[in-house]
Structure 1
Amino acid sequence: MSSGPGAPSRPGEPRVLVRDRRVTWGLAFLPGGDALLTERESAEILRVTPRGEVDELGRIPGVVARGEGGLLGVAVSPTFLHDQYVYVYLTSASDNRIARFRHIGGVGKLETLVTGIPKGGNHNGGRLAFGPDRMLYASTGEAGQEEHSQDRESLGGKILRMTPDGRPAPGNPFGTLVWSYGHRNVQGLAWDGKGRMYATEFGQNRFDEVNRIEKGRNYGWPVVEGAGDDPKYTDPLVTWPTAEASPSGLAYTPGNLWAAALRGERLWQIPLENGRAGRPIAHFRNRFGRIRAVVPSPDGRSLWLTTDNGTADGIVVVPLR
Structure 2
Amino acid sequence: MRRLAILMLLPLAACSSSAGEGTASTPAPPPTSPQAPAQPRDLTTNLAVPWAVAFLPSGDALVTERDSARVLRVTPQGQATPIGKVPGVAAAGEGGLMGIAVSPTFAQDRFIYLHFTASDDNRVVRFRYDNGIGPLQPIVTGIPKGDNHNGGRIAFGPDKYLYIATGETYKTHLAQDKKSLGGKILRVTPTGEPAPGNPFGSRVWTYGHRNVQGLAWDDQGRMYATEFGQNTYDEINRIEKGKNYGWPEVEGVGGKPEYTDPLLTWSTDEASPSGLAYAKGSLWAAALRGERLWQIPLTADGEAARPVPHFQDRYGRLRAAVQAPDGTLWITTSNKDGRGDPAQGDDRILTLPLP
Unpaired runs of 5+ in structure 2?
6-26, 337-341
Match of 2:353 in 1: 319
1:165-314 superposed matches below 5 A: 165-273=191-299, 274-300=301-327, 302-310=328-336, 312-314=346-348
Match of 1:125 in 2: 151
Q: Amino acid of the residue matched to residue 326 of structure 2?
A: D
Q: Which has the higher strand share?
A: 1
Which region of structure 1 is more displaced relative to structure 2, 2-11 or 287-296? 2-11
- RMSD in angstroms over aligned alpha carbons? 1.0
Determine helix, strand or coil for the equivalent of 1:224. Answer: coil
User: In structure 2, what is the Cα distance between the partners aligned to 1:147 and 1:87?
Assistant: 28
Kept after mapping to 2: 8 A contact 1:142/1:184: yes
Deviations 1:119-138 (A, max 9, x none): 00000000000000000001
Kept after mapping to 2: 8 A contact 1:7/1:255: no
Q: Tell me the TM-score normalised to structure 1 length.
A: 0.98
Q: Amino acid of the residue matched to residue 317 of structure 2?
A: R
Deviations 1:21-74 (A, max 9, x none): 111101011002100000001100000001111110001110000000000000
* CA displacement at 1:221 relative to structure 2: 0.2
Deviations 1:291-310 (A, max 9, x none): 0000001132x100111111
Unpaired runs of 5+ in structure 1?
none
User: In structure 2, what is the Cα distance between the partners aligned to 1:86 and 1:7?
Assistant: 39
Q: Amino acid of the residue matched to residue 315 of structure 2?
A: F
Given candidates 11, 30, 33, the residue that maps to 2:56 is 30
Q: Amino acid of the residue matched to residue 49 of structure 1?
A: T
Determine helix, strand or coil for the equivalent of 2:266. Answer: strand
User: In structure 2, what is the Cα distance between the partners aligned to 1:7 and 1:212?
Assistant: 22
Determine helix, strand or coil for the equivalent of 2:253. Answer: coil
User: In structure 1, what is the Cα distance between the partners aligned to 2:238 and 2:335?
Assistant: 29
Q: Amino acid of the residue matched to residue 267 of structure 1?
A: L
Deviations 1:214-246 (A, max 9, x none): 000000000100000000100011100000000
Determine helix, strand or coil for the equivalent of 1:50. Answer: coil
Kept after mapping to 2: 8 A contact 1:248/1:261: yes
Determine helix, strand or coil for the equivalent of 2:46. Answer: strand
* Equivalent pairs, count: 320
1:113 aligns with 2:139: yes
* CA displacement at 1:78 relative to structure 2: 0.6
What percentage of aligned pairs have identical amino acids? 63
User: In structure 2, what is the Cα distance between the partners aligned to 1:164 and 1:316?
Assistant: 30
Given candidates 111, 120, 123, the residue that maps to 1:85 is 111
User: In structure 1, what is the Cα distance between the partners aligned to 2:85 and 2:160?
Assistant: 27
User: In structure 2, what is the Cα distance between the partners aligned to 1:185 and 1:164?
Assistant: 23
* CA displacement at 1:6 relative to structure 2: 6.8
* CA displacement at 1:314 relative to structure 2: 1.9
Kept after mapping to 1: 8 A contact 2:280/2:354: no
Kept after mapping to 1: 8 A contact 2:234/2:268: yes
* CA displacement at 1:254 relative to structure 2: 2.9
User: In structure 2, what is the Cα distance between the partners aligned to 1:70 and 1:6?
Assistant: 42
* CA displacement at 1:5 relative to structure 2: 4.1
Match of 1:94 in 2: 120
